[in-house]
Structure 1
Amino acid sequence: MKTIHILNGDSTLAIFNKSGLEGEILVWRDVLSQGPVNAPFGSDQFWADREAYMTSSFEIEPGKFQTDVIDPFKAFVSKIGTYKQVVLWFEYDLFCQINMLALMSYLGEKVEPGTELSLVCTGHIEGYDKLMGLGELPADIYTQLYNTRLKLGTREFEYAQGAYSTYTSTEADDLYTYMIMPFHELPYLAAAFEAHWKRFPSIETGLSEIEEKMLEFIKEGVKTDRELVGKMLRWQTTHGFGDLQYFEILERIKPLFTNFETLELKPSLDKATIESLIDRNYWLGGAKANKWQYNPDTQEIERK
């Protein structure tokens, strides 16, 4: 049976190659939890938007996004009918859940009758006392994960399409539906959407949850950007970000510092000052960060 495994990143690839599982491999290397996702997934405009964002935000060499992300994915889609099985491998965090939703939504309409689309999504793993990502698990567990994969059908496809469409819409508060009525087959999605909401500036501080934590660590004595990002990576639970994502966020709040090299903050940073200094003209899902704010008291998102 001709199989292709779509993996969530290169760290998973290194372990997957030791698992003994057979089939072709496609590594998904885009970060749909950040940057513009307004255009229909897979369209020319979608890829143009994604390449422009990834190249400018993460200093990717010109043409590398095309060769590493767009070309392999288009090649896979062009011959999707030749596969009897397509297996998605993703994790519980925001980073993975958005990529997973996008692929489920898109491939649900592309797979032909007779092709099985299934999902491995790690989080709670027997024998571990914390949520586990694929890159943290030994290779000998991968066969067990594969054997207990979720086979996707119309119900899952329609749910994923609705959730991804809502995430990419301008109405950020519509995600509430998917947070209060969780879908049993996708148990980590509600927490991921909650983490997404908290990326909008707080109605109380003018800072996102991540930015608040950065400033807290700095006030505790962190003096370099690398040390700060290291602490952020250890602090996070549901974001799943890598160091590049945190460096991007730190760059965004650069106006809050009198000395960025030593992370020395300006002496008076009340909400009004913070709002005047940080440019919120960027995308979080399909919504602009300057159009919405998070209310910690109600734990909901509100239009500004």
Structure 2
Amino acid sequence: MEYHILNGMCLYDKFPLQIKGEKVVMNEALLHGPLGANLLEEFWKIRANFWQVSLTDYKKKTVVPLDNLTKAKKEDTILFWFGTDLFCQINSWFLLDFISQKKIASKIGIIYPPVYPSEETFGHYPATFLANAQYVPVYLKEEEIKIAITLWNLCKNADIEGLSNLNVLNTEGFPMIRASIDRWISLFPKEGKGIAQQKVEELIQGGIDNFQELFKAFSNFFPDLGMGDNQVFEYYQSYLNKKNSEK
């Protein structure tokens, strides 16, 4: 049996019916907010507090779907439908750690989205690609899974020094992993403003004060971040509030 992990409801709503198996939605955005917790139960509480929802509601939306993965057997296959941008990568690193903690022994693969220029996409996947329902996974090697788990632990603990010292090269399973590490370091530096905050402020100073226009310009400049509008809006609002308070 195949378990298809879909990174958000956008892809879930358009996922081809002819692709059989269990659909598991990842309803989180781990590029945004605190991550530091050693135990899963503690982690769920931190994330629920960040999203300002009750732990019960958070678990219903996020944890219960993921728990379906614990049904997977050794002969089953778990397939990630994730892109190479940092938003997808950090989510995938967490999920590989989750799968490891739950001692799920299934084969794991990733189906990266192809690039079809000028075509509407759903969760990174072109409409034509989804309609064809044909895919060839890249199966992860044990060493690649170990690297992803190491990265997750360094990121969640904000260990920028550890990330900087990590000697990791791109692999077939993670073709953009080196760039993802470098982006994380520049996004969340130990000191000063990260590249996202700097860019938002630069765009405002350049005359873009409409948020929708700003978000589009930001996303075009940083397509490899995959950052959502909520996170960008926080930088936007923070800068405007500071600017107004100085008047």
The TM-score, its normalising length taken from structure 1, stands at 0.69
8 Å contact kept, 1:7–1:25: yes
Aligned to 1:100: 92
Give the CA deviation at 1:184: 4.0
- Contact 1:90–1:96 (CA under 8 A) maintained in structure 2: yes
Instruction: Give the counterpart of 1:162 among 142, 150, 155.
Output: 150
The CA deviation at 1:83 is 7.3
Does 1:220 find its partner at 2:219? no
What does the per-residue CA deviation read over 1:73-103, in whole Å, with 9 as the maximum and x for residues that have no partner? 23x1442339722211111111110001111
Q: String of CA shifts for 1:189-224, please: whole Å, max 9, x gaps.
A: 221222222223697xx4322222222222222233
Q: Which residue of 2 aligns with 1:52?
A: 49
Equivalent residues, number: 244
The counterpart of 1:118, out of the listed 104, 109, 120, is 109
Q: Give the CA deviation at 1:47.
A: 0.5
**What is the Cα deviation at residue 65 of structure 1?**
2.3
- Give yes or no for the alignment of 1:70 onto 2:74: no
1:233 maps to which residue?
A: 219
Counterpart code for 2:243: F
**Structure 2: gaps spanning 5 or more residues:** none
Q: Which residue of 2 aligns with 1:29?
A: 27
- Residue type matched to 1:239 in 2? L
Q: Is this contact kept in 2: 1:11–1:135, CA < 8 A?
A: no
Question: How many Å separate the matches in 2 of 1:91 and 1:39?
Answer: 26
1:157-177 deviation per Cα after TM superposition (whole angstroms, max 9, x unaligned):
222222222222342121124
Q: Does 1:12 align with 2:8?
A: no
> Could you list the runs of 5+ residues in structure 1 that have no partner in the other structure?
260-265, 268-304
Match of 1:258 in 2: 244
More strand as a share of residues: 1
Q: 1:62 & 1:252 partners in 2: Cα distance?
A: 27
Give me the whole-angstrom Cα distance separating, in 2, the residues matched to 1:149 and 1:177.
Answer: 30
2:36 maps to which of 26, 35, 38:
38
Query: Would you say 1:188 and 2:176 are equivalent positions?
Result: yes
Q: Over alpha carbons, which structure has the higher Rg?
A: 1
Question: 2:133 maps to what in 1?
Answer: 143
1:39: Cα distance to partner? 1.4
- Which of 170, 183, 197 is residue 211 of structure 1 equivalent to? 197
Residue 161 of structure 2 corresponds to 173
